[in-house]
Structure 1
Amino acid sequence: MVFEIDEGPETGIAAITFLGNKAFSDSDLRQVMVTKQSSWWRLFSTNDNYDPNRLDYDREQLRKFYTNRGYYDFRILSSVSELKPDNGAFGVTVTVDEGDRYNFGEIKVVTENDRLNADFLQLLLPIRKGDLYESDRIQAAVDTLTFAAGSAGYAFVEINPTYRADPETDTVNVTFNVREGQRVYIDRINVVGNTRTLDSVIRRELMVGEGDAFNRSLVERSRNNLRALGFFKDVKIEETRGSAPDRSVVNVTVEEQPTGELSVGAGFSSVDSFVLNLGITERNFRGRGQNVVARAEWGSLRQQIDFRFTEPKFMGRDVRAGFDLFHIRYDLSKYSSYDYRSTGGGVRVTYPLNGYANFSTRYFLKDDEVVIPFGYCGSGVGGGSSALCDQAGSFINSSAGYTLLVSRLNDPVRPTRGWSASLRQDFAGIGGDVNYIKTEADASWYYGIRPNWVVSVQGQAGYVSGWNGDPIRINDRFFKGGNTFRGFETAGMGARDLTTTDALGGNFYAIGTVELTLPNMLPEEYGIKTSLFADVGTIGKLDDRYLVDSATGLRNPNIVDDLALRAAAGISIHWRSPMGPIRFDLSKVMAKEDYDKTETFRFSTSTQF
């Protein structure tokens, strides 16, 4: 028997119409729904095809939308789909009853166990009397109480919220009933899903062990530790009942993801500079958690070859150690009429201070060479910058330093809450030919104002000063622009010689950034995210000897070193393309000095294997 099937064309959605809505417009409600009206530009999307199951999901999304905005009594009275004979597409009509807007009334916590103090638990709730009613805050309160009970060792608690609405006062009274079992201990820990990563690599990141009392906060921190490794696409930690009522089995389920990365990047500036880089990174070498990086970069500005190796658990202890080898050449003739080359290596060690802070130390030995073009420093009109001509030569830099890092982010990969900060200092002069102290600090803060809307604020500053009478050489100064300050070319801002247009960098900089990550404007399958940014900052403050004309002893009017404010704003587009992540930056400079160099476009790509 043969069945011949004619599927016919796909049926679209001609229109989505709402009846009974007063607080929100039709367009607002359409944005909530996954189902979309058919349009020519949705060529690659299937969300504009008629699907009854998707419409059922959309009704639940509408209910969440309203109940998260105070409409406790919201109901969908009907949802009707009619096939229009003229164009063969469906028209969807949703009739709603919004009801009144409610606030939270009395909030109570009731518990059967005196060791879980109800008054204390109530203080932890993210809900207060008089707040606008939001259904998601009920779930957040349940999560908070569950977390608090788990931190006290009670793994299997049941928290049932009960509601009592008062239509006369438009309030909803909520009582959280906490029922808990006895204190629970970890019977065993199962690790599954690790097809490549060694079991020991996962277990060493866990902050609980077999036989320990179950502690939900330590379990959550263990999950963050595993996510921070970057080895896994997803990490789940679940507890089930063990061999006895007071025993628990912890199941750690991981989903491996590619940890090797073949990266290719390119960038353009307004003066047609071009950079291409190629790198191979393996963050989980041989499944042992070791990090190996080999990278090469070619371009009109920078050529670099370097190799890095990091052992995250040196000698079996909670100490990260590694070494670096590198050769770098900066051809800055386009920006500052000199060529900088550096060859060397170093060792580094990182110690965790606690669950939130790390302290790292390092030592580097390198040979730095500054090459000035032949004839650049000739006498007479058209001679080179006096701030550059005494920089030529090769110098040994022997330096030691440290970095203190503190992170209180809620998620190490995609933070939506919390902050992080670091302080870095390097001391050059442990032998060698140069002497300076370089200090840099930065801080970041994240806050999710709505789902998929995240505001981040970053600030960074640095200062370098010589000691033993030494000035700061040009290769040890700060240069900002390009990737470090969008809207400006590499070395495009800061002190400059007006005669030669050479960039001279600065001994000091301060930069602040505000960025808003926006929700997806296109379907999730496109993998496109957008953010708006604004960068503001300054750089400058050369040593006095570089600001003075050596012939006259007076201030050189051709060298400008103003700590003037620079600012730029724009949009960044992140695309998870088939060939890997791609980022586009479009910038508009809002404040600059006349001698600064600007750019408007930059992009970079990478490919995983």
Structure 2
Amino acid sequence: MEGLLLRGRHSSGGCCEGISPFQEGRKKGGGHLCLLKKLEEGRVGREAVKGSIVVFFLLVFSVCLLFGGFVDARAQSPQLLVKAIEIQGNKRVDKETILFKLKSKEGEPFSVSKVREDVKSLYETGYFEDVEVDAEPFEGGVKLVYKVEERPLVARVLVKGNKKIKTKDITKELKKFPLSIYNENIVKENVRKIMQMYQAKGYYDVRVDVERKERRGRIVLTYRIREGRKAHVAKIEFVGNKHFSDRTLRGQMLTKEKNLWSMVTIFVGYFLGKPSTYYYIPDLLKLDLMKVREFYRDHGFLRVAVGDPQVSVKDSGKIYIKVPIEEGPRYKVANVDLRLGTDDPFKSEDIKKLLGLKSGEWYGAATMRQDVNNLTELYGSKGYVNADVRPLVEIDDEDHTVRVTYRIEKGAKYYVGKIEVQGNVKTRDKVIRRELGLAEGDVMNTLALKAAKERLSRLGYFSQVDIETKPGEDHFEDILVNVEEQPTGSLMFGGGYSTQEAFGAMVQLQEKNLFGRGQSVSLSGNFSGKRAEYDLSFFDPYILDRPLSLGVRTHHLTYEFDTFDEESLGFTITLGKRIWNWYTTASIGYEFQSVDISGVDDDAPEFIHDQRGRSVSSAVILGLSQDTRNSTVLPTRGFQRRVSLKVAGLGGDEYYYKVIADAGWFFSINKLIKNSVFHVRGRMGFINPLPVGDGSDRPVYERFFVGGDDTVRGFDEDEASPERDGQAIGGTKELIVNVEYLFPLVGGLRGLVFYDTGAAFDNGDQISLSGLRHAVGVGIRFITPFGPLKLDLGYKLDRKKGEDSTKVHFSVGTVF
């Protein structure tokens, strides 16, 4: 029996010349059917694809011959299977690589369409100059033979004509040829890369020609560069803009005009990870004009048209860009509506309160996109993780209004399936799981997972935290928490100089994740010519795996004041519990202190003489705190608020109450400088005697001493406090305000500018703005290989006689 033919060519016509598709005919020696499949014309580079598909296909008459009679093919013939696949002609590309690209597989039904896709797929690899496929009868099925002709090898790649950019710098950027096989697409991509390199340096009319010399199947490829002239952008002008100035529109672009200010901003932007340029780069300019168009659309100009820029070059090497703009009308929001599905868990009026788009306001595409994100998160918080939120926009070009309808299909409700934790070597699983706020079987909550990621990041145990969900069983989503641990032990050193204490030093040894249990322990010391202070503390956020925290602290202090000496020893025990939400903690504690006032000079203030000797303070402390900061080291958003009440009089010698309120906010200010942060903090406190006891003055060790790196920088530790006879005695009231602006410099280095104001006030003095001390300054923050570094330089704005005008505050540490 002879094979029967089905032949199709990878070109515009068939190769069964003279035979129409589905035309029946006869060949000598047996029946056959020639089926012509027209395939699309292909082209690689500038050469026409010569590939063809030659298919020997056994159809109706072959089945008849096999079974000795003619029967209805549709009723009797089985579907032919691919019994074998053979690869021929490959020399460098291995067989497995080719087989992987094929959709036709051994044991599967034969398909002409699959063979056609196989040819296309093999051409797209870039390895082959020509591909043919033969099909022939084989073991009651079909054997496919793929005949390939590999493209030539690239023997050498040369770069010629370059003077302004070194050859090694160019070749480093060029994409390599896989298996050294020539590929026209890679050549085109490399030409673009070379042009972009030159354009980034101001060579706007650079040209790159490709020369290809082939001999014995090997190619020497040469990129010949004509560098052209260098020029910079001197002027960017917009024509037709009425609502926004040229300066505002240029602010949306990375292409800048060359002037002194742009040179500074480009230099700073380079280190801030926000590159811009005053050179003409066509691809970058296209992106800039897209940003201008989006800027207009975000402000309601839905029909804005940003035309092709007119670029002219002067002999002086200056480029002038003129951009035509047709702003069109500005559109307002006529109505915002909701289209909810059945049994929706939310009410329309409640959802509308959350929307940024409001009727009567200017339409903004960015606001609408944010609404979609917010609504998606809202439904995700109720388990509808696949909620489909689609804005339907109706534009009325006559009234210049927009009607927006948010169509919400909540989809199925999902629950928490398995929770898996990966990447933790030291930290125990339970430490991570308890921060999730979700357990197996709970309703899935995407907002809770987002908050959990922030909480895990704030712990300081991990350098990377990723939380993903993946489909589990029916209506269940599994949670995968992947963490990358970082050192949690730290050894911190600090130092400074003050007129009061001369040189001082601080050392702190801390472990924030003791034995991987999430507990912290810290030992610190503070030393100077007048001070010796030791502090040991322990904190467990979950006692016996319950949502109840325990803190224990003990301290010892000796301090030589000018007119007396103080020695104190004490401890504090605090219990805390989260209330209301994950970031609010209520606490109650007990504090015991034994203080000895000795060495009192004759000229010391009278109230110091009254406190001579040893006294005991026994106090209860109530506290309420909130902390939503996204990091405890360098936060960029969130707040930290705390209020505490200490009441002494549970036995002991002291009877007083002390109130402190402390609040700080962090705001990300990306519009000014990307990744910059504005931080404002305010503190107020007072101490008063209880209406029991002898009503004596407040103990000196509980008074407020203002000044130093944690209160008002630029001042010594007690320099902004009341004095008597030239001796700082502290105050019974305090008010402190700190304002900072932090911004990235280079890598992880951050700079800051600050303004601090504050003071302590004594008995009989009211807190007043006129009594505050003021300082401004600059500083840096950096996480070094040796630990966090903090350096501030403060300058007094109201320096008094005998005071230093500046003060340096410095600390650095190491982690382990």
Pairwise TM-score range, normalised by the shorter structure: 0.7 to 0.9
Alignment of 1:120-199 (within 5 A): 120-167=350-397, 169-199=399-429
Q: Deviations over 1:447-496 (max 9, x none)?
A: 66765564645342222325401331222211112231334432123332
In 2, Cα distance between the equivalents of 1:286 and 1:59? Answer: 55
Q: Quick one: which of 720, 738, 749 aligns to 1:527? A: 749
1:604 to 2:793 alignment: no
Paired amino acid for 1:527: L
**Partner residue of 1:291?**
520
Give the 3-state SS of the residue equivalent to 1:288 in structure 2.
coil
Stretch of structure 1 that moved more, 27-36 or 128-137: 27-36
**Partner residue of 2:792?**
584
User: 2:490–2:510: 8 Å Cα contact kept in structure 1?
Assistant: yes
User: 2:704–2:733: 8 Å Cα contact kept in structure 1?
Assistant: yes
**Residues 72, 496 of structure 1: CA spacing in aligned structure 2 closer, same or farther, 3 A cutoff?**
farther
- Select the structure of larger CA radius of gyration: 2
User: 1:529–1:575: 8 Å Cα contact kept in structure 2?
Assistant: yes
**Partner residue of 1:367?**
594
In 2, Cα distance between the equivalents of 1:207 and 1:60? Answer: 42
1:385 to 2:610 alignment: no
Paired amino acid for 1:341: E
In 1, Cα distance between the equivalents of 2:247 and 2:484? Answer: 39
**Partner residue of 1:238?**
468
- Higher normalized contact order (CA 8 Å, seq sep 6+, divided by chain length): 1
Alignment of 1:444-455 (within 5 A): 444-445=664-665, 451=671, 452=676, 454=678
Q: CA deviation at 1:237?
A: 2.9
Paired amino acid for 1:138: M
User: 2:707–2:721: 8 Å Cα contact kept in structure 1?
Assistant: no
Alignment of 1:184-263 (within 5 A): 184-244=414-474, 246-263=475-492
**Partner residue of 1:465?**
689
Q: CA deviation at 1:201?
A: 0.7
Give the 3-state SS of the residue equivalent to 1:139 in structure 2.
helix
**Residues 526, 423 of structure 1: CA spacing in aligned structure 2 closer, same or farther, 3 A cutoff?**
closer
Stretch of structure 1 that moved more, 447-456 or 349-358: 447-456
In 1, Cα distance between the equivalents of 2:797 and 2:646? Answer: 33
In 2, Cα distance between the equivalents of 1:507 and 1:534? Answer: 20
Q: Deviations over 1:377-427 (max 9, x none)?
A: 1xxxxx4433433333332333332212245x4746577776553321223
**Residues 78, 249 of structure 1: CA spacing in aligned structure 2 closer, same or farther, 3 A cutoff?**
farther
**Partner residue of 2:712?**
485
1:570 to 2:776 alignment: yes
In 1, Cα distance between the equivalents of 2:305 and 2:781? Answer: 38
Give the 3-state SS of the residue equivalent to 1:389 in structure 2.
helix
More helix by share: 2
Structure 2 residue ranges without an equivalent (≥5) = 1-154, 170-196, 203-231
In 2, Cα distance between the equivalents of 1:527 and 1:67? Answer: 36
Q: CA deviation at 1:438?
A: 1.9
Q: CA deviation at 1:507?
A: 1.7
**Partner residue of 1:557?**
none
In 1, Cα distance between the equivalents of 2:677 and 2:324? Answer: 27
Give the 3-state SS of the residue equivalent to 1:206 in structure 2.
coil
State the identity as a percent.
24
User: 1:68–1:136: 8 Å Cα contact kept in structure 2?
Assistant: yes
User: 1:463–1:509: 8 Å Cα contact kept in structure 2?
Assistant: no
RMSD: 3.9
In 1, Cα distance between the equivalents of 2:365 and 2:782? Answer: 33
In 1, Cα distance between the equivalents of 2:313 and 2:598? Answer: 76
User: 1:527–1:577: 8 Å Cα contact kept in structure 2?
Assistant: yes
User: 1:584–1:603: 8 Å Cα contact kept in structure 2?
Assistant: yes
User: 1:587–1:599: 8 Å Cα contact kept in structure 2?
Assistant: yes
Q: CA deviation at 1:60?
A: 5.9
User: 2:453–2:465: 8 Å Cα contact kept in structure 1?
Assistant: yes
User: 1:464–1:508: 8 Å Cα contact kept in structure 2?
Assistant: no
**Residues 217, 577 of structure 1: CA spacing in aligned structure 2 closer, same or farther, 3 A cutoff?**
closer
1:20 to 2:238 alignment: yes
- Normalised to the residue count of structure 2, the TM-score between the two structures is 0.61
Stretch of structure 1 that moved more, 166-175 or 138-147: 166-175
In 2, Cα distance between the equivalents of 1:150 and 1:596? Answer: 63
**Residues 347, 384 of structure 1: CA spacing in aligned structure 2 closer, same or farther, 3 A cutoff?**
closer
User: 1:150–1:217: 8 Å Cα contact kept in structure 2?
Assistant: yes
Paired amino acid for 1:463: I
Q: Deviations over 1:269-303 (max 9, x none)?
A: 57784432221222112222111212122234543
Give the aligned length: 571
Give the 3-state SS of the residue equivalent to 1:144 in structure 2.
helix
Paired amino acid for 1:340: E
**Partner residue of 2:733?**
508
Q: CA deviation at 1:31?
A: 5.3
Q: CA deviation at 1:62?
A: 4.9
**Partner residue of 1:95?**
323
**Partner residue of 1:318?**
547
Q: Quick one: which of 639, 643, 656 aligns to 1:423? A: 643
In 1, Cα distance between the equivalents of 2:249 and 2:532? Answer: 53
**Residues 64, 311 of structure 1: CA spacing in aligned structure 2 closer, same or farther, 3 A cutoff?**
farther
In 2, Cα distance between the equivalents of 1:167 and 1:218? Answer: 42
1:304 to 2:524 alignment: no
**Residues 411, 566 of structure 1: CA spacing in aligned structure 2 closer, same or farther, 3 A cutoff?**
same
